[in-house]
Amino acid sequence: MRPEILFPLFKPVTNLKGIGPRIAKLIERVAGPNVVDLIWHLPREIVDRSFSPGIKDAPAGRIVTLTVTVEKHVPSGHSRRPYRVRCSNASGKLTLIFFHAREDYLRRELPEGEERVISGTIEHYRNEVQMTHPDYILSPAEAASMPKVEPVYPLTAGLTLKTLGKAVRASLDILPDLPEWQDGAYLKQQKWPSWHDAVIAAHAPDAAAKLEPDEPARARLAFDELLANQLALALIRARMKRRPGRTIEGSGELRRRVQDALPFTLTNSQTQALDEIYQDMAEAGAMLRLLQGDVGSGKTVVALFAMLDAVECGGQAALMAPTEILARQHLATIEPLAEAGGIRIAILTGRDKGAARKKILAALQDGTIDIVVGTHALFQEAVEFKNLMMAVIDEQHRFGVHQRLDLAAKGKGIDVLVMTATPIPRTLLLTAYGDLESSRLTEKPAGRKPVDTRTVPAERLDEVVSAVARALEGPARIFWVCPLVEESEVIDLAAAEDRHRELKARFGDVVELVHGRMKGPQKDAAMARFAEGPARILVATTVIEVGVDIPEATIMVVEHAERFGLAQLHQLRGRIGRGGDKSTCLLIYTPPLTEAAKARLEILRETEDGFHIAEEDLRLRGGGELLGTRQSGLPEFRLADLAMHEELLAAARDDAKLILDRDPELKGARGAALRTLLYLFERDAAVVNLRSG
């Protein structure tokens, strides 16, 4: 149960005075639904209202605060024309401008002949100094209530700074004093304030320097968030390690048979990764390891070799992929090798129904099937194994930690290997996979040629179409990717359909279309027509990003390349160059490019090293956007900036380890405070883990 002291923070924002359902919806869009979300919604910049020049010296575009005398109201006589209020002081004349004005209200706020303190942005128009809709209109007696320096928060359409600022202040009024969970000596060394004081200070910056990530209040809050993350992962890891495992050590006979059937030799990094995996499997505790490998580095084969040992010891193994396309592709890679080793293999996806499904379920239950490949259909309740010893989860970032545990619950002390083709920077590795040991595949299989990557401005699209026409004279297959951006899915889908129509008009029925709104069977049929013929050009949204393996595909065209992240472009490029032929990736961009977009495209032209690209992506975009965290199960940080707080992350990891070495159950005084921290950052699952052991 969440501690009572946190109850007020986890109430909806409608509990705050003056926040009704309409405003709550807007606040939810920009920050979140609860009071605590407002506390984490820190200001991005500041407005300094201390600048008070003479009126005629006030520069356009600057925010100024002036004391003026109201001279005359000049109503417009028409709702579409501005309402003017003439004001002055010894230094000059100023006109206040209001649109859609209510005269009675303005005459109350700005009585003629009286002094008022006004603050807002200066404009110069036809030799007149103006201010449109001042931010503040106060009597001299009220002037002290106006903040000299005001925080500016990220907003959304329909939500004003005034309304949001009021809501934030109301949330800070109910801020509890929480027990200190940080180590006293470390706090002192860092010169950090208490949690309560840090929150207050972070929302009241009095200078631009106070907005920096290394400023004491902000650094303290970032460290709290990182510690909650690392502690939660350490608790899950400790629980996984406590699961009694089984020693899995094969004789190597199956491995030898399959190795003889391999059309290539394993790379050095495949061999090294397998050594690490075999070592883990041979230990008594249950294995939990992450296998990272760039696109086409041979993860599936490594997974198969690991599963062979489980089969040799009389067990079963399961390989789970996020999509049916990917599951069937793994099956295509593994099946001929498994047959050479005399291993019985099957596939189970959501599409398998009726008698065929019953037959597979029965064979899993009686042990007739040694290795099963499938989608998340594998961890449905009806699926029972005779003796599941090993689970491989591919494209791990598409599944949450709980799904990892669900599959592991299908047997006793199951060894778990998770794989990703999305290279993960070291800092993200710690925050997302701190509960896993990690192996890397850094080489590409022999015979793979580098991909020639070029950037092309959109006005040269005709040349790209002509190049495609020339490529179709040979055996090439061509991917043509149109971007898909969540906010405008319909527009982007239309863009893909338009491009499909145009290319089809030029090249005929060799052009196929695939997108995310198609139903599974429809999508698979389109992919099959492209993979095996007759289609030669596949126009697609980014559904082809992960796992599609078509060795004949040698050209990748990406439209609006500037809209994609580095990691995503790298994934797309990885769809070509998988056979022995020379491959080309054309990144079409629409100028002018932002500095960040220019840097992204430059990096892609320079390197194919996915790990280097991932680090650069983190540096350019920060952790929040990397890999599209909202879809990926990676943690989303509100206070920590992984590009800036790398040292704090390492310190949080060390601290979490030390905490659990000293107090594995979090039962001591600091332990109790740390439980509050976990609940505060909504890492409830870790506390449940702690309780359930």
Task: Read off the pLDDT of residues 352-395 as tens digits, 9 standing for 90 and up.
Answer: 888 999 999 999 999 999 999 998 888 788 899 999 999 999 87
Question: Could you list the residue range(s) of the whole structural domain that residue 71 is in?
Answer: 50-146
- The two three-digit tokens of residue 100, written as one number: 């859609």
Among residues 411, 229, 443, 421, the alpha carbon closest in space to that of 322 is found at 421
Task: Read off the pLDDT of residues 435-452 as tens digits, 9 standing for 90 and up.
Answer: 678 888 888 776 678 899
Does residue 118 sit within a domain?
yes
The CATH number covering residue 97 comes to: 2.40.50.140
Q: Is 222 left (phi over 0), alpha (psi -120 to 50) or beta?
A: alpha
Clarify whether residues 229 and 370 are in a common domain: yes
Q: What is the DSSP letter of 636?
A: P
Q: Last residue of a domain, which of 583, 607, 631? A: 607
Among residues 367, 421, 368, the alpha carbon closest in space to that of 393 is found at 421
Q: What is the pLDDT of residue 626?
A: 38
Clarify whether residues 280 and 398 are in a common domain: yes
Query: pLDDT at residue 490 above 70?
Result: no
Angle between helices 299-312 and 324-340 (to 10 degrees): 60
Q: What is the pLDDT of residue 635?
A: 58
Does residue 157 sit within a domain?
no
Task: Read off the pLDDT of residues 250-308 as tens digits, 9 standing for 90 and up.
Answer: 888 999 999 999 888 899 999 999 999 999 999 888 888 889 887 778 899 999 999 99
Task: List, as own/partner pairs, every contact residues 517-523 make where C-beta atoms lie below 8 angstroms and the sequence separation is at least 24, other chains included.
Answer: 517/489, 517/493, 520/324, 520/350, 520/351, 521/351, 523/325
Does residue 486 sit within a domain?
yes
Residue with tokens 């949450």: 400
Does residue 159 sit within a domain?
no
The pTM of the full predicted model, rounded to 2 decimals, is 0.67
Query: pLDDT at residue 628 above 60?
Result: no
Does residue 314 sit within a domain?
yes
Does residue 659 sit within a domain?
yes
Clarify whether residues 200 and 227 are in a common domain: no
Q: Last residue of a domain, which of 146, 178, 194? A: 146
Q: Is the dihedral of CA 178, 182, 188, 191 positive or negative?
A: negative
> What pLDDT band is residue 501 in, cutting at 50, 70 and 90?
very high
Query: pLDDT at residue 116 above 60?
Result: yes
Query: pLDDT at residue 163 above 70?
Result: yes
Q: Last residue of a domain, which of 205, 228, 251? A: 205
Query: pLDDT at residue 20 above 80?
Result: yes
Does residue 27 sit within a domain?
yes
What average pLDDT does range 35-48 have in this prediction? 95
The CATH number covering residue 376 comes to: 3.40.50.300
What average pLDDT does range 100-104 have in this prediction? 90
The total domain count for the chain is 4
User: Over the chain, what is the mean pLDDT?
Assistant: 87
Does residue 421 sit within a domain?
yes
Count CA atoms closer than 13 A to 12's CA, side-chain side.
Answer: 11
- The two three-digit tokens of residue 181, written as one number: 């969970």
Query: pLDDT at residue 241 above 90?
Result: no
Q: State the DSSP H helix or E strand holding residue 580, giving kind and residue range, or none if neither.
A: none
Clarify whether residues 320 and 428 are in a common domain: yes
Q: Which position has the higher pLDDT, 185 or 251?
A: 185
Q: What is the pLDDT of residue 498?
A: 87
Clarify whether residues 671 and 616 are in a common domain: yes
Clarify whether residues 590 and 646 are in a common domain: no
Q: Tell me how crowded residue 71 is: count the other CB atoms within 10 A of its CB.
A: 15
Q: Which position has the higher pLDDT, 349 or 203?
A: 203
Q: Which position has the higher pLDDT, 685 or 470?
A: 470
Clarify whether residues 100 and 174 are in a common domain: no
- The two three-digit tokens of residue 230, written as one number: 């690392």
Cα–Cα distance between 671 and 665 in angstroms, integer?
8
What average pLDDT does range 159-163 have in this prediction? 89
Task: Read off the pLDDT of residues 585-609 as tens digits, 9 standing for 90 and up.
Answer: 999 999 998 888 899 999 999 988 8
Q: What is the pLDDT of residue 578?
A: 78
Query: pLDDT at residue 145 above 60?
Result: yes
Query: pLDDT at residue 33 above 90?
Result: yes
Query: pLDDT at residue 462 above 70?
Result: yes
